[in-house]
Amino acid sequence: MIKLLKHVFHPIKINELILPNRIMMGSMHVGLEALDHGMERLAAFYAERAKGGVGLIVTGGAAVCPEGGAGEGFTNVYADEHIEKLRLLPEAVHREGGRIALQLFHSGRYAYKHKTGLDPVAPSPLQATINRDAPIEMDAELIERTIEAYVQAARRTKTAGFDAIEIMGSEGYLINQFLSPVTNKRTDEWGGDFERRARFGVEIMKRVRKEVGCEYPVIFRMSGIDLMPDTTTLEETISFAKLLEDAGADLLNIGIGWHESQVPTISMMVPRASYVWVAKMIKDAVSLPVVASNRINDVRLADKVLAEGQSDMVSMARPFLADPYILTKSGFGQFDRVNTCIACNQACLDHIFEDKPASCLVNPLAGREYDLSIEKTDQPKKVAVVGAGPAGLEAARVLAERGHQVWLYEKNDKLGGQLTFACQVPGKIEFLETIRYYETELRRLCVTIRLGESICEEELQSVGIDEVVIAAGVTPRVPSIPGIDLPHVVRYTDVFTGKVKVGERVAVIGAGGIACDLSHLLLTNTSLSADTGQYLGQYGILAPQMFATFQQSKRSITLLRRGKHVGTGLGKTTRWALLSLLKKHGVVMKTRIDYSRITEEGVVYIENGEEHLLPADTIIIAAGSTSNQEWRNILSAERIVHLIGGAKEAGELDAKRAIREGMEVALSI
């Protein structure tokens, strides 16, 4: 391994368990258990990450009680019959030379009754904002039974062959609910002052330690900061860490935020490593090792965190969805080859909240390891890929990886397609990482790239192309509205490409994901960078609140839509944050309207049967898309053609579907 990452690759000992490096794959529930051969699928998923050399894998949560999990489609550890099923996971990981911990889990008031068939339970009968079911208050007897359930789950975990245990006490789950005054209103020995609120978690830690013995590694995932009003204070959090140390914890893994918090913690808009200071605060207060987490998606950044003494280990969860080999590649200095997690949430967290198995937008093989792999073909072909957006890029990459000769045609002068639009939106610069990854891989795989060129049947014949993959994307849909051809009416693509100057009063026809992202871009004054703000604040030139005001462009923006909902096409777990931001900065959202006409003054729309004029200097059309059909007039009718991405089905821009279809078509040729 290269010296640049000497901190990451320095071994660490957790109790008697020696880890070869300081990177942990943090816990993620991926939902594979609910499928046929679910545990085998989960084992294949973890085994692939073990091949990548991660120091320690922590599984998704395993329910210690039936009422604290999510039914049979969840990993469970509350009965002895679960031991043999669970054994598949450490066996698969150990075959690849890895190490794995099982996370002991109880949802508390976050548990869904329609999944468990049981009422959720909690320290107090307070309903969570993200659950339609109110919990039952736990009595003293149930509290004792639940603590014992953790103890027996620990015994089963050790028997099943796992290398360690992690106790889940963060993210607003049951142990966290006992600790926080937001959710614990009890006045008995399990609630009230800090010591009594802390007792539940501390007792679990003590009794689990006694059960598994002094040499078996036990990790406690504690909440470093809840990001909830009137919750546990930072002083109390530090005190809780000390109590856990005294109770026998070997490692503290620091979680950030609750699922119902109104502060984004893991989405793309959160700057990288924003929360390592929390781990540092706890590390300074205890003598046992501490793990930092949240939005650390580059091993070089992890090495920096360790070098600065912010933590003793770094948890990187979703980055191992995006690239199981992120650590191996980085260890050999192949940073450009890493398929970086962009924190989009679209195929991981969004899928879980939609009761779908998790995957990854930039790596659709994630979660499909049991069924799919990229194998060399025994019949190499010459394949042309038309369009270098996400669908075409993935198709070209996988085709070349399999041994086909690939020609990639892109009529624009750079790769990326509409990903180049996305990375312009504030908080979405991570999409540049995806473009960089594809550029690197296509060069490595010797794909012939033709930028600024459209396809030509004569050239395809001269090259001897066998099959053609059409990934030509979409074109903006232009609705039929009188006045749509006036000069101050422009398409969203013209704004992203800088072809037009946008005025101060903006009307956007359409209110889907593209319109919302475009509004965010137009709100921002890019002439003042974050570095400028830091400088101005450091010398007292501009207060932070005033700087935030200067960062806004002062444009008035109104989104118009015939339908009811704004932001369709945005991810379930990120939509709320963007809509909240837009509203905060004055973006007006008018739904259930109809269009009468466009005039030189603006848009005349109909609401509740009455006409209204919305004055506008610039009117932007962002009302959906249609499939690009230009190729049909160029290619011979005899050509073997495969349609993917927007060329196959238009609609809201969907990089997740596009990349998945790119992979699938490349595996089929």
**HEC profile for 266-318?**
CCCCCCCCCCHHHHHHHHCCCCCCEEECCCCCCHHHHHHHHHCCCCCEEECCC
The order of strands in the sheet holding 505-509 is 489-491, 618-621, 505-509, 556-560, 588-590
What is the structure's pLDDT at 569?
78
Alpha-carbon dihedral 165, 166, 168, 169, rounded to 10 degrees: 110
What is the structure's pLDDT at 475?
86
Q: How far apart are CA 544 and CA 550, in angstroms?
A: 10
Alpha carbon separation from 224 to 176, 198, 228, 236, 276 (Å, rounded): 10, 14, 12, 10, 10
What is the structure's pLDDT at 551?
57
173 is catalytic: yes
Type of residue at 614: L
The 10 Å CB-count burial string (b at 16+, else e) for 234-245 is: eebbbbbbebbb
The 10 Å CB-count burial string (b at 16+, else e) for 135-144 is: beebeeeebe
Q: What is the pTM of this model?
A: 0.93
Beta bridge partners of 451: 410
C-alpha closest to that of 110 among 93, 76, 134: 134
Report the first-to-last Cα separation within the chain, whole angstroms: 37
Q: Which of 78, 110, 150, 173 is catalytic?
A: 173
CB-CB neighbours of 271 under 10 Å: 10
Q: How far apart are CA 376 and CA 366, in angstroms?
A: 19
Q: How far apart are CA 177 and CA 200, in angstroms?
A: 10
C-alpha closest to that of 274 among 257, 262, 290, 286: 257
Delimit the domains of the chain by residue range.
Answer: 3-353, 382-475+627-668, 478-623
Q: How far apart are CA 10 and CA 168, in angstroms?
A: 26
Alpha carbon separation from 558 to 405, 502, 513, 570, 611 (Å, rounded): 48, 14, 14, 18, 16
CB 49 within 8 A of CB 25: yes
CATH fold of 3-353: TIM Barrel (3.20.20)
What is the structure's pLDDT at 96?
98
Structurally, what CATH architecture does the domain formed by 382-475+627-668 represent? 3-Layer(aba) Sandwich (3.40)
Q: Where are the alpha helices (DSSP H) in 407-497?
A: 419-422, 431-444, 457-463, 492-496
| DSSP-assigned letters across all residues of 64-117 | SSGGGSBTBTS-B-SSTTHHHHHHHHHHHHHHTT--EEEEEE--GGG--HHHHS
| Structure token pair of residue 302 | 């992890």
Contacts 24+ apart (CB under 8 A), 109-112: 109/134, 109/135, 109/174, 109/177, 109/183, 110/172, 110/173, 110/259, 111/67, 111/68, 111/69, 111/70, 111/135, 112/70
Residues 503-551 pLDDT 10s:
999 999 999 989 999 999 999 876 666 666 666 667 777 677 665 665 5
Cα angle for residues 391, 394, 397 (degrees, 5° grid): 145
Q: Which residues of the chain have pLDDT under 50?
A: none
Tell me which of 3.40.50.11900, 3.40.50.10210, 3.50.50.60, 3.90.1200.10 is the CATH number of domain 478-623. 3.50.50.60
Q: Tell me the three state secondary structure of residue 155.
A: helix
What is the structure's pLDDT at 533?
64
Q: How far apart are CA 244 and CA 269, in angstroms?
A: 33
CB 492 within 8 A of CB 500: no
C-alpha closest to that of 58 among 99, 30, 17: 99
Percent helix, strand and coil across the chain, each rounded to 5? 35, 20, 45
